[in-house]
Amino acid sequence: MFQTSSFARLRAKFTVLLLAGSALQAAQAADLPRRQVPPPLPIPPAFTWTGFYLGVNAGYAFGEGRRTFTDATYGTVTGGAQGGGFAGGGQIGYNYQLTPGSGLVLGVETDIQGLAEARANAAYLGTTPYYNVSPSLDYYGTVRGRAGYAFDRVLVYGTGGFAYGGGSTSSYAGSYLYTLPSTSRTGYTVGGGLEYAFTEKLSAKIEGLYVKLNKGGSTLTTYDATVPAYYGIGSGNTGFAVVRAGLNYRF
C-alpha cells in the first residue's frame, strides 16, 4: 500500500515536470522570430534611348581629291588637290524609342564642327599659276533626322538632313575683279552610325557622314599680266566625307 502511494506521487510529480517543460518550450518557441520567405527581387526596367542628350565628337574629314575643270575663257585648269583635315565639335539631340528594350528609335540631332581642311590654292592653266579665290571652309554644321533600331543598349541608325558651313575670304581675293563667292554655304548631308550605351547616362558612337555644300559665286576668271597669273573660282567641288567618334550624355 505504501509503495503504491509513493509510486503515484512520483508519477504525479513527473507529469507536472513534463507539463512544465512543454509549457517552457512553447513559450520559448513563441519568442523566436518567424521564418519568412524573402520577396522576389524586382525586375529592372527595360533600357530605353528616349530622352535629350548632348555630347562631343572628333574625327577626320576627307576631301574629294584632285580635280580637273574647264574655265569658260581660258580652257582646262588642272591641279588644286583638296586634302583632308581634323574635324571636331559638339552635338545635341532627342531620341524617342517606340518600345523599350528593343525597337524602333526616331530622333533629331544638330551639331556644329570646326574644320581644319588642307587644300592647294594654286592650280595651273598651262604653265601659268591659277589662284583659287574661293573662301575657305572653317566650320560646318548639320540639322538631321535620325531613324534606327535598338538592340537593347546597341543602336544602329541612318541619318540625313540640312548642312551649312562658312569660312574666311581667300588671300587672293583682292586681285579678283568680279563678284566673290559668299563665305556662307548650304547643302545636305547623309550618313549612318552605331551607338552603344555603356551606362544609363553615357553612350559612345562611331558615325560617318557625307556633306555636300554649294559653291556659289562667279565663274569668271581674272588675268593679271603683271604677275602673270590667273585668279578664279578654283574650288569646283565642296563635298567631303567625315568619319568621327563621339560621346553623349543623356538626361
How many domains are there within the chain? 2
Tell me, yes or no, whether 94 and 210 share the same domain.
Answer: yes
Tell me, yes or no, whether 192 and 223 share the same domain.
Answer: yes
The number of beta carbons lying within 10 Å of the beta carbon of residue 106 is 16
> Would residue 45 count as lying in a domain?
no
Tell me, yes or no, whether 55 and 31 share the same domain.
Answer: no
Tell me, yes or no, whether 183 and 155 share the same domain.
Answer: yes
Tell me, yes or no, whether 88 and 32 share the same domain.
Answer: no
The number of beta carbons lying within 10 Å of the beta carbon of residue 241 is 15
Beta bridge pairs of residue 4: none
d(Cα 146, Cα 140) in Å, to the nearest integer? Answer: 19
Tell me, yes or no, whether 22 and 94 share the same domain.
Answer: no
> Would residue 66 count as lying in a domain?
yes
Quick one: DSSP state of residue 41?
Answer: P
Tell me, yes or no, whether 84 and 148 share the same domain.
Answer: yes
**Residue span of the structural domain in which 93 resides:** 51-250
Tell me, yes or no, whether 98 and 151 share the same domain.
Answer: yes
Residue 152 grid coordinates:
537593347
Q: Quick one: pLDDT at residue 50?
A: 96
The residues, any chain, with a CB within 8 Å of residue 131's CB and separated by 6 or more, are 121, 122, 170, 172, 175, 229, 230, 231, 232, 234
Helices (H), the chain: 2-31
Q: Quick one: pLDDT at residue 124?
A: 81
> Would residue 169 count as lying in a domain?
yes
Tell me, yes or no, whether 22 and 58 share the same domain.
Answer: no
Q: Quick one: pLDDT at residue 25?
A: 63
pLDDT in tens, the chain (251 residues): 445 566 666 666 656 666 665 655 655 555 555 667 777 777 777 899 999 999 999 999 987 655 555 666 676 676 655 667 899 999 999 999 999 889 999 999 999 999 987 666 667 887 888 888 888 889 999 999 999 999 999 999 999 999 999 988 888 888 999 888 888 889 999 999 999 999 999 999 999 999 998 876 667 888 899 999 988 876 555 788 999 999 999 99
